[in-house]
Amino acid sequence: MDIDDKHFKNYKSRIKDLYLLCFWGAFQDKLLGAYVSAEIKSIKRDHLCYLIKRKLSDYDVTPTYALNLCKNILGRGVDNKYLLGQFGRSGRTAAEKSKIFEMDIQRFENEILVEYQLFTDKLILLKRQAKSEAIKETNN
């Protein structure tokens, strides 16, 4: 099993759990769409950060650089605390500039964007699979 398979299993489980919680009465049916949409937004953020880490593993990616990539690819920002947790380095000061800012962000963005778009296509299928599995599980 490659690392993407592990991630996809985790993502599907997160979505499936929401369907199960709804089917078991943990929250109203009318809220299910909002919860699933929020979870998918979170999954997209998580996967984009995973791609950034994987593609730029040889570089000192800062939270600010990751934020710029997220804005360009997602079309929105990402919570700074989340990015600090993913890309922050304890003890780093503003005076410590990463050399990654000297590089062309577009070069990395294009590579990551292709993989991210493939991921979002797979995510649609993953959502359907999660719902189907949750329905089967509650009917047994």
Q: How far apart are the first and last CA of the chain?
A: 28
The answer to whether residues 45 and 78 touch, using CB atoms and an 8 Å cutoff, is: yes
pLDDT one-digit tens code per residue, 10-52: 999 999 999 999 999 998 989 999 999 999 999 999 999 999 9
Residue 82 has pLDDT above 90, yes or no: yes
Q: What pLDDT is attached to residue 59?
A: 86
Q: Give the number of other CB atoms < 10 A from CB of residue 98.
A: 16
How do residues 45-76 score in pLDDT, each as one tens digit? Answer: 999 999 999 999 888 888 988 999 999 999 99
What does the mean pLDDT of the chain come to? Answer: 89
Mean predicted confidence (pLDDT) in 119-132: 95
In angstroms, the CA 53 to CA 51 distance is: 5
Indicate the number of domains in the chain.
Answer: 1
Confidence of residue 85 (pLDDT cuts 50, 70, 90): very high
Q: What residues make up the domain containing 90?
A: 3-139
- The set of residues, in sequence order, having a beta carbon less than 8 Å from that of 49 and lying 6+ positions away, is 66, 70, 78, 82, 83, 86, 87
Asked if residue 1 has pLDDT above 70, the reply is no
